[in-house]
Amino acid sequence: MQTIKQAIEDIRLGKMVVVIDDELRENEGDLIIAAEKVTPAAINFMIKKGGGLICLAMQGVDLDNLSVGFMNPDRAPDDLSTPFTMSIDARYGITTGISAEERARTILTAVNPAASAADLVMPGHIFPLRGRDNGILERPGHTEASIDLARLAGLRPAGVICEIIGEDGSMLRGQALVDYAQFHGLSLISVRDLIVYREQHEPEALIPILAKIDRMQKTAAAPLKTDYGIFEIQVYRDRVTQLEHVALLMGDRETFTNPLIRIHSSCVTGDIFASQQCDCGKQLQFAMQKIAEEGQGLIIYLDQEGRGIGLTNKIRAYALQKEGHDTVSANLALGMPIDSRDYVIATDLLKQLGIKNVRLMTNNPTKLHTLSVLMEGKVERVPHQISEQGLSCHHYLKTKRDYLGHMLQESTSNQ
From the list 159, 83, 78, 68, the residue with the least C-alpha distance to 121 is 68
> What single-letter amino acid sits at 25?
R
Q: Which residues pair with 229 in a beta bridge?
A: 226
In angstroms, the CA 22 to CA 308 distance is 15
Half-sphere exposure of 66 (CA within 13 A, CB side): 31
Half-sphere exposure of 58 (CA within 13 A, CB side): 30
Burial 101-121 (b: 16+ CB within 10 A, else e): ebbbbbbbbbbeeebeeebbb
Q: Which residues contact 146 (CB under 8 A, 6 or more apart)?
A: 19, 30, 32, 57, 131, 158, 159, 160, 161
Pairing of strands 17-20, 29-34: antiparallel
Q: Compute φ and ψ for 372, nearest 5 degrees.
A: -65, -35
From the list 21, 39, 58, 241, the residue with the least C-alpha distance to 148 is 58
CB atoms closer than 10 angstroms to residue 369: 15
Tell me if the bond preceding 123 is cis, omega within 30° of 0.
Answer: yes
In angstroms, the CA 65 to CA 254 distance is 50
Contact (Cβ atoms closer than 8 angstroms) between residue 126 and residue 106: yes
Rounded to 10 deg, the angle between the 142-152 and 191-201 helix axes is 50
In angstroms, the CA 114 to CA 112 distance is 5
In angstroms, the CA 309 to CA 187 distance is 18
Catalytically annotated residues: 339, 341
In angstroms, the CA 415 to CA 406 distance is 7
